[in-house]
Amino acid sequence: MQTFSVRSASGTYRIVCGGGAISRLKAVISKQTDVTGVFALSSPRVWKYCGHKITKALGSAGAAAPILFDDSESAKTLATVEKVCRALHRAGADRRSAIVAVGGGVVGDIAGFVAASYLRGVRLIHVPTTLVAQIDSSIGGKTGVNLPEGKNLVGAFYPPVAIVADPVFLQTLPGAQSRSGLYEGVKYVNIGDSKSFAYLEVNMAKVLRRDPRALEWLMLHSIRAKAAIVSKDERESGLRQVLNFGHTFGHALETAGNYRRHLHGEAIAWGMLVATLIALATNRINSIQAERIARLVMSVGRLPSIEGIRPVKLLALMRGDKKSHAGRIRWVLPVGIGRVEWGIEIPDQLVIEAIREAPEVARLARGAR
């Protein structure tokens, strides 16, 4: 078990992670002063598999019944936020209450926005139960919900007071959800260093079969990387933009499919492939490096098709994304193995060509495994 610290404008918070971390949940909450009530927020599906562990870990602190809501991406809306806030009010939550968010990225995003908004702010503890939440979305204080026009367009920066990430929850994940989270791990080795990239190339098979040591390596490596980045740039004014590798295109793809066609990680995987093709076309990487990146992305598994989604529609959605500047799309592109640069503007035609070529590159990289 390890502990990492994350600096934020609101103070430093800790991430307790590794096997057995969930046993520390009650102790983590007890460090908060004058907590008048603990309210678990989760989904029916997650609570079915994880609720007994959370109840046991909370002990008498978790006497209130959990507040459950739909954790599908299409339900990540202001209406759900209102529903949860009203449930908290009916349950008697006050300003000294603590919310424990138990679930994946959607639960964390909604619970985080609720915590930021309810009574103008209550304490938040994340207990992420998916890989993508443990290594990415629970860290850094981003919260938010979707609008029909795009993903995460309404939200707030609201850091938690603590995160408790235990890989025990990953063993019950369905295969597609598990692989979806692995794409965020692939992102971290692409923005990290060449040694970690090479390690994952060699050990991806172990990670895919959920070998405890390999999975914990990926988890700890990714958490360490994100904690360091967001501690230096909480509000995404500079360095934190590297975390958007694959997300420029990925968020647009999710929106175009009404959040049903691609899981988050699958959309990010396509985004990493498109960004790699753009980097190759602009001579930022060579063909050998591009092939290694594509092969690592595709080593996770086959991706749902992007055929039938018009590139011009995706371009329009990317321009409307919160990461664009005055409608100008800023890309994060690889400049080597384990290195990226950010804030790059690319001509539309080159982007369209990369989108059109991506399915063939995915097919070839998958076949080369």
Structure tokens at 368: 């080369």
Residue 329 CA to residue 295 CA, distance in Å, equals: 26
Q: Is 244 a catalytic residue?
A: yes
Catalytic one among 187, 251, 262, 284?
251
Q: Is 187 known to be catalytic?
A: no
Catalytic residue among 53, 151, 187, 240: 240
- 206 counts as catalytic: no
HSE on the CB side for 52, CA within 13 Å?
3
Residue of 226, 262, 284, 292 marked catalytic: 226
Residue among 104, 90, 109 at smallest CA distance from 37: 90
**What strand order describes the sheet that includes 2-8?**
2-8, 11-17, 162-165, 123-128, 98-103, 38-42, 67-68
* DSSP type of residue 44: H
Q: Does residue 120 carry a catalytic annotation? A: yes
Residue 264 annotated to the active site: yes
Q: Tokens at residue 239, please?
A: 């360095």
CA–CA distance, 324 with 245 (Å, rounded to integer)? 14
The single residue of 53, 123, 264, 292 carrying the catalytic annotation is: 264
Residue 210 annotated to the active site: no
Nearest to 17 by CA among 133, 101, 98, 104: 133
Is 184 an annotated catalytic residue? yes
Query: Could you tell me the CA-to-CA distances from 364 to 127, 129, 265, 292, 352 in Å, in that order?
Result: 38, 33, 20, 12, 19
Active site residue: 221, 247, 262, 284, which one? 247
Catalytic residue (one of 236, 254, 266, 284): 236
Cα–Cα nearest to 141, from 121, 168, 119: 121
**Catalytic residue among 146, 152, 190, 244, which?**
244
Note whether 265 and 183 are within 8 A (CB): yes
DSSP β-bridge partners for residue 257? none
Are 141 and 157 contacting, i.e. CB atoms less than 8 angstroms apart?
yes
52 annotated active-site: no
89 is a catalytic site residue: no
For residue 226, indicate whether it is catalytic.
yes
Task: Single out the catalytic residue among 73, 184, 234, 254.
Answer: 184
β pairing state of 142-147 and 150-157 = antiparallel
Q: Which of 90, 120, 213, 328 is catalytic?
A: 120
Report whether 99 contacts 127 (CB < 8 A): no
Please give the positions annotated as active site: 120, 142, 184, 226, 236, 240, 244, 247, 251, 264
